[in-house]
Structure 1
Amino acid sequence: MRTIEERLEEHKQDMSTMQAPPELEGRLRHALEATPARKKKMNRAATWVLSSTAALLLLVGTYQYPAFAYYGSMLLNKIELSSLSFAEVAEQGYGQTVNKSKTLNDGTVITIDGVIADDNGLLMYYTIDRTDGSVFTDNGSFRYGVNHIHGFLTDSDPKEGNGNHSQDETQFEGVYKFEPVSPFSRTLTVTFSEWLENGKRATYPISFKFEANKAMKSIVKEDIAQAIPVDQGSVHYDAIIASPTSTIVKGHYEMKYEGAPRFPARTSLYVNGVEVKSWGMRADHSGPKGSPAFELEFDVLPTDRVKTIELVLNNFSGYQKVEKPISLASPSDQSIRIGDEKLWIRSVTPTASGYDIVIARKQFTLLEKEHVSVQAGGKTVPVSSISQSRPWDLKNGNILREQTYSFKTTEKPELLLLNEFHYIKTYDKSVYIPVNSP
């Protein structure tokens, strides 16, 4: 695989000969007017967790993506984005400087300092300066918000953000990551918001020119189209997009039941045998035929010389059918193995209304009421109530959860009838992604 520096030099040469037709936007806009508007995505919440690395822009089709700057190997070396202000970025010659401001009625100034974008999103650096002698109150970070970005063929929601106050608390300096913007947008409008003292919410749009001149592709952009079989279905990994700001893996679930899995898949990413830090998961129902889908976000790739990419499904929802009844003759703190899991029958105690059975299990092993009963005096007796779970400390570093299951019977229970249960199952299965050198 060629290095990023080699591709950058080649890309600069291509840029001198490639240019989008001037009438392209008009043709696209005309076509768009005849197309039904797409449904707005439901999740508009911004999660205040961002630690990534900066940045780069997308190349779409045969036309150059509006780009700002390519971050070379110096900035790709694990520098956390939250530790960089845009001034620090600009000092090294990277990013598009914007410097567009809006002054509010009380004199507060909101400024978009600069932006950077790539296949996985757009990063916006901004500052909020309070008027002289005024500081951010305790809830100042929540008073001002960032909503979305609009532009030609663009309606991008914020995904995550981070920021800090100055020492004198007169300035807030932040960065937000948005969904990718359209490659054909020439002007972008960011909408900021403020909660006023009267409880109403004011909005402040700020528009700026979106430049299109220095685009680059992502480091890796591959279809995966591989699945791992699991209990009651399969986990599908659809695509991976790796750029100098983050690495995104998209996938979906195909299960034998409706709805989302009880527990999401925990997946690890390895590049050239080195694990890449995970930043979390987002889920929705955008998979095939509305099936549950997920999007995994990882750190930037540790190298641009990608030889191998491996995804490992560490654990996921497990299903265990219980074929044999469990004896209640000798309750103890000794475990009972059922498939890959263990249960503990700690006690069987008579009560005024029947019998209580204390059962312990791992935190995410679910024994549901409709699948729990006992055999007592030759009859099957369903559970009448289940207590809240409480910790059981084994004093060896393991803390389990126990609950009391009550049964209304005058006969002492002989057998626990447990039809099935769900739990987090270890899979440790891999898919290997072929890497195509550009």
Structure 2
Amino acid sequence: METIEEKLQEYKQQTVNQMHAPSELEEKLRNALHRVPKKRRSKTKVAAWISSAAAAIILMVGVYEYPALAYFFNINLNALSFAEVVEQGYGQPVNKSTTLQDGTVVTIQGVIADDNVFRMYYTIDRPAGIAFTDDDFRRYGFENLRGFLTNSDSLRGGGGPGKNKSQFVGDHDFKPVSPFARSLTVTFTEWLDNGQKLSYPMTFNFEANKAMKSIIKEDLSASIAVDKGTIHYDHITASPTSTIVKGHYKLEEYPRFSGETKLYVNGTEVGRSRAGGRNPDFQLQFAAFPTDNIHSIELVLENFEGYHKINEPISLSSPSDRSIKVGDEKLWIRSVTKTDTGYDIVIARKQFTFLERDNLSIQAGGNVVPVSSISEERPWDLKNGNIMWEQTYSFNTTDKPEFLLVDGYQYIKTYNKKISIPVDNKR
């Protein structure tokens, strides 16, 4: 029999082999400078019409519990088709279909529900001989899921080719539904070439006794101190579909860069996540993990936005392309150039390192001269596999700059701080 550690190592290797960083990640990070979309299971194709979550709902659970199932979760449901999920004894078959105007058939195969998500498995079958195109993915979509005490927003989806080029096999996640609901309605939408939007409500019975309880559900009272405040971890819910950690920030300002957190089970890394959510609340999402014989669960904040205060002036007497160590980071004073209106200073740094702008100035001729303008950032290729980012800082003065005066800089700081999550092996 495999140990939990062997299962985790096997799962980790499968996940690493399946994960591919999106090509637009670097651009999104540089421009948006907020959180990075979380990774989820690999599919042959990801549907281009994935909807985003619009608002949170209040899930009223009361004293009701999903009927118990005998599951010591030893499989990765995220990697399975619905037929394979059913073979493992999970999920509720639905088999509900609707036909679009052109003969395309949309079929809900089945669903899985837990405390983290409501997952719907479906197929889209174009008329025989008509293959799927990229335009089809832009035409089709799902709206929210409705039912008794339920108005669950769409979260994300994925999928890939089916048995032929005319079929798409996918799954779609929604926010959790109420266990009191006995029927649910999801609306499939289609945009026609003339701009008209057609809606196809699909109602099906929901059997809560086919759903699954959370594996681990704990309130946390853990926090990690960072340079400009504290990160608080409030709650963890580990279910057969995913592991979600919720928390909130108490910071001087909302971070540009949310950092990366790793999840360890029995000392083995099973995933990593960047925070999403809305200030001050955040959410970390990891894949599901095997739950038999768990001895320890830990979260490690590997990196997060840091701040370094610069106490000493930076000399501008000998600009060059050599780096200057300032705290944990390096700066390059690339040039100091006389212009018609004063002086331009070109400063380079790593991509996610940002000089504080509020009091940025120079000392020149015995005077302190504030910056008058700052250019857009641009890449600087060092020709050694590294690319820095430079900007031009302009100052209105006839005196030659002697020192750069700046309060500090924000950057991606390595914290590597750990918190332990209580484990109750009596579950």
Q: Could you tell me how far apart the structure 2 residues matched to 1:211 and 1:167 are? A: 29
What is the match of residue 43 of structure 1? none
What is the match of residue 391 of structure 1? 379
What is the match of residue 13 of structure 2? none
Q: Could you tell me how far apart the structure 2 residues matched to 1:207 and 1:242 are? A: 29
CA drift at 1:423: 1.6
Q: What is the letter of the counterpart of residue 374 of structure 2?
A: I
Q: What is the letter of the counterpart of residue 230 of structure 2?
A: S
CA drift at 1:93: 4.5
Relative to 1, partners in 2 of residues 1:72 and 1:221: Cα closer, same or farther, differing over 3 Å?
A: closer
Q: CA RMSD in A?
A: 2.7
Relative to 1, partners in 2 of residues 1:216 and 1:128: Cα closer, same or farther, differing over 3 Å?
A: closer
Q: Could you tell me how far apart the structure 2 residues matched to 1:100 and 1:70 are? A: 28
TM-score scaled to structure 1, two decimals? 0.79
Q: Which deviations, in whole Å up to 9, do the C-alpha atoms of 1:264-299 show, x marking residues without a partner?
A: 1321111111112235542114xxxxxx11111111
TM-score scaled to structure 2, two decimals? 0.81
Aligned partner of residue 83 in structure 2, secondary structure: helix
Greater length-normalized contact order (CA 8 Å, ≥ 6 residues apart): 2
What is the match of residue 300 of structure 2? 312
What is the match of residue 198 of structure 1? 194
CA drift at 1:339: 2.5
Relative to 1, partners in 2 of residues 1:161 and 1:231: Cα closer, same or farther, differing over 3 Å?
A: same
- Quick one: which of 234, 239, 262 aligns to 1:238? 234
Aligned partner of residue 358 in structure 2, secondary structure: helix
What is the match of residue 65 of structure 2? 64
- Quick one: which of 386, 390, 407 aligns to 1:402? 390
Structure 2 residue 263 is matched with structure 1 residue 266: no
CA drift at 1:351: 2.3
Relative to 1, partners in 2 of residues 1:279 and 1:190: Cα closer, same or farther, differing over 3 Å?
A: farther
Q: Could you tell me how far apart the structure 1 residues matched to 2:248 and 2:307 are? A: 19
Q: How does 1:37-436 map to 2 (within 5 A)?
A: 50-51=40-41, 62-65=63-66, 73=73, 76=75, 78=76, 80-81=78-79, 84-166=80-162, 168-214=164-210, 216-257=212-253, 260-278=254-272, 280-285=274-279, 292-436=280-424
CA drift at 1:302: 4.1
Q: Which deviations, in whole Å up to 9, do the C-alpha atoms of 1:404-434 show, x marking residues without a partner?
A: 2222221110111112222222111111111
Q: Which deviations, in whole Å up to 9, do the C-alpha atoms of 1:289-346 show, x marking residues without a partner?
A: xxx1111111112443221111111111212222221111122333323232221212
Q: Could you tell me how far apart the structure 2 residues matched to 1:262 and 1:380 are? A: 29
Q: What is the letter of the counterpart of residue 66 of structure 2?
A: Y
Relative to 1, partners in 2 of residues 1:144 and 1:49: Cα closer, same or farther, differing over 3 Å?
A: farther
Identity %: 60
What is the match of residue 20 of structure 1? none
Aligned partner of residue 371 in structure 1, secondary structure: coil
Q: Could you tell me how far apart the structure 2 residues matched to 1:59 and 1:379 are? A: 64
Higher mean displacement: 174-183 or 262-271:
262-271
Q: Could you tell me how far apart the structure 2 residues matched to 1:406 and 1:127 are? A: 58
Q: Could you tell me how far apart the structure 2 residues matched to 1:369 and 1:94 are? A: 55
Q: Could you tell me how far apart the structure 1 residues matched to 2:85 and 2:212 are? A: 18
Q: Structure 2: where are the runs of 5+ without partners? A: 5-36, 44-58
Aligned partner of residue 137 in structure 2, secondary structure: helix
Q: How does 1:25-44 map to 2 (within 5 A)?
A: none
Larger Rg: 1
What is the match of residue 42 of structure 1? none
CA drift at 1:139: 0.9
Are the counterparts in 2 of residues 240 and 250 from structure 1 also a CA contact under 8 Å? yes
CA drift at 1:225: 1.7
